[in-house]
Amino acid sequence: METPKIFEPGKIEVKWYAHWMEKGYFHSVPDNREPYTIVIPPPNITGVLHMGHMLNSTIQDVLIRRARMLGKNACWVPGTDHASIATEAKIVQKLKAEGIQKSDLTRDEFLGHAFKWKDKHGGIILEQLKKLGASCDWERTHFTMDKEYSESVVNVFIDLFNKGKIYRGVRMVNWDPEALTAVSDEEVIYKEVNSRLFYVRYKIDGLDDEWITIATTRPETILGDTAICVNPLDKRFIHLHGKSVIVPIANRIVPILTDDYVDMEFGTGCLKITPAHDINDYEIGRKFNLASIDLFNENGTLNEYGLHYQGVDRFEARKLIEKELHETGFLSKTEDHINKVGFSERTNAVIEPKLSMQWFVDMKDLAKPALENVMNNSIQFYPEKFKNTYRHWMENVKDWCISRQLWWGHRIPAWYYGEGVNDFVVALTAEKAASLAQEKTGVAYKAEALKQDEDVLDTWFSSWLWPISVFNGLTQPNNPEINYYYPTNDLVTGPDIMFFWVARMVMAGYEYKGDMPFKNVYYTGIVRDKLGRKMSKSLGNSPDPIALIEQYGADGVRVGVLISSPAGNDLPFDTSQCEQGRNFTNKLWNAYRLVSAWEVVDFEQPHSANMAIDWFESKLNKTLLEINDAFDKFRISDALMLTYKLIWDDFCSWYLEIIKPGYEQPIDKLSKEVTIAFFEKLLILVHPFAPFITEELWHLIGNDKKENDIIVASWPNAGKIDDALLVNFNQSEEVVSNIRNIRKQQNIANKVKLSLFVKGQVNGQLNFHSVIVKLGNLSCLEYVNESMKGAFSFVLEGKEFFIPFGEEMDTAAEKDKILAELEYIKGFLKSVQGKLSNEKFVSSAPSSVVESEKKKEQDALSTIDILTKKIADLG
C-alpha cells in the first residue's frame, strides 16, 4: 500500500499513548539511577485545559521526555487542586440552578454534593493532558484533598500553631462580599477606576455655623465615622484643634484629631476616619483608641448602623446617601477622580476592608531561608529577572490570612470549648482536643461538646506542601520515595503565581524538609492573542486546545506553542504557529517516505554521498552540542529551532538532496544504512517536542522488530566534529547558491546542465567537487588558470567561478551588476583603510583585530582587482 503524502496524526496518537501506558514507561519507582522529578502545578479540579496549560505542560513534557532519554529516572507527578473558592462558587452555582440554596444545607450535605460533583466532573483536565501526550506518572495522581494529603495539611497547621507561627486574631482583612469570605492580600487585584470625590460639610459642635469640609470617595461610610483628622501643621485648621464635629445623617459627635499621616494637599486636607472600613483609618483608629463601627453585613449590604439604609447594598447606598447629603445641604460639591480599587481575584467583587477574626501565619521566620536561597542561586530562576520581584515581596512579606469562610477545603483543626477569645485548642481530632482542653483548663470536656472551627484553610495552605506531600513526606517522613525524589528538579509555572505558590513552597520546603523544593524554576509567559490580549474565558479569545490538537495534531500544536516562547516572555499565540508545527511533522513524514522508498543494491558508494555523510555527521554532532547547551540554559525555543533547522535545512534540503539517487534508481547499501542511522538520531532529538510522529516513524523505519520504543531510546552522545569540513561545506553551499541564483536571474531552467570553471583552486579539486556537480546540476566542473571571457562569474574566498554564456546573453546587465558590486567593495575598503590609517586604532586595538582588518583590506583589494578585470573583459 502506498504511504500517504500527508501525515495523519489522529490514529497514531491514540495508538502510541495507549502503548506507552501499557508498557508503563511513565511510571517511576526509585532505583539507583539519578532521579529527575517534576511536580505539575496542579490545575483546579474543575478546570478545563486552556492555552496556558498547553504551554506549561508541553514544556514539562519536553523536559521529562528528554531526561528519560538521558537515562534518568524521570518522574512527572500529576494531580489537581481543590481550589476552594473557585470550586465552592461553582458548586453553589450549580446547586442554585437546581433550586437548592447553600444556606438550606448543612455542611455535610453540602460537602456530599460537592464530592459527588467532583467525582463526576473533576479531573477532566487530566484526560485532556493525555491528548497532548503528557507523559505523567498517572499512578501517582494526587488531589490536595486526598485523605493522606489532608492529614499533612492539618498537621502542618497544628505544628505551626504549636511553634507559635500561626495565630488567631481580629485584623483588617480583605473581605469578598460575593464569595462571603476573607481572602489574602495576594488575592486582591488593584485596578484604577473612574470614581468621584465627594466634598461633605461637617458642622463644628458647639460653634455657630462653623463647618469643616472633608473629601471622600466613599460617602456611604460616613455612618461609620468615629473621628475626623487634619495635619497638625495645617494652618487652616489650627483653631479647630480639640473641637468636635457632628457627623451628618448619623448626628454623632466625633472628635477632630491631628496626625501627620494626613496629606495637606489632597482634597480639603481634612480626612474622615472610619476605622472599620479602611486600612489606614484602622491604623489611626488604633493609635487614638477610636471605636470601630462596622457598617456592613457580610454580603456588602448595610446593617443596623446604616440606620434607614439598613439592608441596602453598599453601592446603592452610596447613591442614596449622596442624594440625601445633597438635599440636606451637606454635600458641597463632587469631583471626578481616579483611584485604585481592590477587586477579588476570584469573583471580581470589590473588596471590602473588614475587621474580622481570622487565622494568620507569621511569615517572618519562614521568609528568611526562602529569600536567601533564591538570592544565592541555590534555587535558580529562569529568567533571572524574576529574582527582583521575588526579593521585593519576601522583604516586605506580610502575615498570611489563611482562614476562609467556606466549606470546601481543609477544615481548621481548632476546637472551641467556651465563648472566650482564647477558649480553644488546636488538635487533629475532637478526642485529642478534649484532652488538650482539659490539660489547659483543668476541666474535663467531652469530645462531642467541643465545637470545631467552621472555617477552612486557604487553598495555597495546602498547595505549598505539594512537592513534599505528593511523596507523603509529611505523613511518612523519610520514606524511600521522598528521600529519592526530593528535592525535585524543575518547576514550570507562570510568574503570576510566584507569591501564591512558588514562594510559599520554598518556605514550606525549608521548614519541613530543611531543603529546597526544586532546583530550578522556569517561568513561562502569559499566552496572549494576536491583539496582545490575555487569553481568557470571558473574552472568548482562547482557542480550544483539544480542537487545535484535532486540527493540527498534538505534535503540531506542541511545536507551535514552543516555537516562539522564550522563558518569561509572553507568547503571542496565533494558530499559524500550529500550522508551522504541523508542516514540520509533515516534513518529517515525507523525509521518511523518501528514505523508505529507496531500493538497495550493492554497489560502490558515490563520492558525493561519501562526502555528504562525513559532513552531516559533523553537522549533527555540532548541532547536538548546541541543542544540549540550549536545554541546559532552559532555552527551549532555541533547542527546538536548532532541531527544526537541522532537520529541515541540513538534513532534508542538503543531505538528502545529495544522497538521493535519480528517479527510480536504487541506492547503495552503505548510504542507505547510514542515512537510516542519521534519521534515527534525528528522531530521538525531535522526540521530546513531537513524541507521536517520532514514535511512529521509529517503528516504521525498522525498530518494530527490535521491540524497542523511541520514548526510551538513548539521547545520543556527540561524536567527532570536523570544523574544517563544516567550513568547507558552507563554502560549497555558497557555490551552489550562486549557481542557482544565476539560473534564476538568467531564466535558465533547472533541467539545463551548466558548465562551471574555477580559477584559483591551487591543489586539485574542491573538497565537495562531486556535491557541487550534483546539486548545481553541472555537466562539468573544471579548473582553469586564466579568467574566462563571456561568462557569468562570482567570487568566493579568492576563487573565481565562471559559467560560460549561452547564445544571447545580456552583457550590459551583467556589467551593471559588477559595477554595483565594485562600488560597494570600494566603500568597504575605504572604511577599513580609514581604521588602519588611524594610529590610535593600530596602537590600542588588540593585534588580532588589527590583523583581521589587514586581511579584510587584502581581500577587498584583490576582489577589486578581479572585478575591474571582469568589466574590461565584458568590453
Q: Which parts of 74-133 interact with RNA (CB under 7 A)?
A: none
Per rule CB under 7 A, is residue 405 in the interface with RNA?
no
Which residues lie across from 313 on neighbouring strands?
A: 301
Count other Cβ atoms within 10 Å, centred on residue 651.
Answer: 24
Contacts of RNA in 750-779 (CB under 7 A): 750-751
Alpha-carbon distance of 98 to 727, in angstroms, equals: 73
**Pairing status of strand 600-601 against strand 667-668:** parallel
Q: How far is CA 635 from the centre of its chain?
A: 13
Q: Does 338 bind RNA (CB under 7 A)?
A: no
Q: Determine if 582 is a binding residue for RNA (CB under 7 A).
A: yes
Q: Which residues inside 596-625 make contact with RNA, applying CB under 7 A?
A: 597
**510: its cell numbers:** 525549608
Least separation in angstroms between residue 531's CB and RNA is 10
> Which residues between 493 and 552 bind RNA (CB under 7 A)?
495-496, 499, 532
The angle, 0 to 180 degrees and rounded to 10, between the axes of the packed helices 51-69 and 554-562 is 100
Nearest Cα to Cα of residue 211 among 264, 249, 250, 256: 256
- Choose between 168 and 743: whose C-beta lies nearer to RNA: 743
Least Å from the CB of residue 40 to RNA: 22
Nearer to RNA, 320 or 850 (CB): 850
Name which of residues 440 to 499 contact RNA (CB under 7 A). Answer: 495-496, 499
**Taking CB under 7 A as the rule, does residue 803 contact RNA?**
no
Nearest CA-CA partner of 638 in 741, 714, 565 = 565
Kindly state whether residue 833 participates in binding RNA, applying the rule CB under 7 A: no
Q: Which of 580, 605, 731, 761 binds RNA (CB under 7 A)?
A: 580
Please identify, among the stretches 139-147, 299-307, 570-578, 608-616, the one whose residues bind RNA according to the rule CB under 7 A: 570-578
Angle at the Cα of 543 from the Cα atoms of 117 and 499, rounded to 5 degrees: 65
Minimum Å gap between C-beta 763 and RNA is 24
Does the footprint of RNA cover residue 746 (CB under 7 A)?
no
DSSP 3-state assignment of 338?
Answer: strand
303 is a site residue for RNA (CB under 7 A): no
Cβ at position 552, least distance to RNA in Å: 8
Of 229-237, 243-251, 683-691, 735-743, which part binds RNA (CB under 7 A)? 735-743
- Cα(387)–Cα(428) distance, rounded to whole angstroms? 37
- The full length of the chain comes to 875
Q: Residue 6 interacts with RNA (CB under 7 A)?
A: yes
Rounded distance between C-alpha atoms, residue 20 and residue 694, angstroms: 13
Binding mask 346-385 toward RNA (x if CB under 7 A, else -) reads ---------------------------------------x
Cβ neighbour number for residue 246 with a 10 Å cutoff: 16
SS (H, E, C) 466-534: HHHHCCCCCCCCCCHHHHHHCCEEEEEECHHHHHHHHHHHHHHHHHHCCCCCEEEEEECCCEECCCCCE
Residue with cell 519576601: 394
**φ and ψ at residue 287, rounded to 5 degrees:** -60, -40
For RNA, the closer of residues 566 and 666 by Cβ is 566
Contacts of residue 650, Cβ cutoff 8 Å, sequence gap at least 6: 616, 619, 620, 623
Using the rule CB under 7 A, which residue among 1, 22, 840, 875 binds RNA?
Answer: 840
Binding mask 181-200 for RNA (x = CB under 7 A): ----xx-x-x----------
Based on the shown chain and the rule CB under 7 A, indicate whether residue 287 belongs to the binding site for RNA.
Answer: no
817 is a contact residue toward RNA (CB under 7 A): no
> How far is Cα 796 from Cα 360, in angstroms, rounded to an integer?
73
Among 97, 663, 720, 723, indicate the residue that binds RNA (CB under 7 A). Answer: 663
**Member of 576, 730, 755, 862 binding RNA (CB under 7 A):** 576
| Closer residue to RNA, CB minimum distance, 32 or 747 | 747
Asked if 821 interacts with RNA (CB under 7 A), we say no
Q: How many residues bind RNA (CB under 7 A)?
A: 72
Q: Is 337 in the site for RNA (CB under 7 A)?
A: no
Which CB sits closer to RNA, 163 or 392?
A: 392
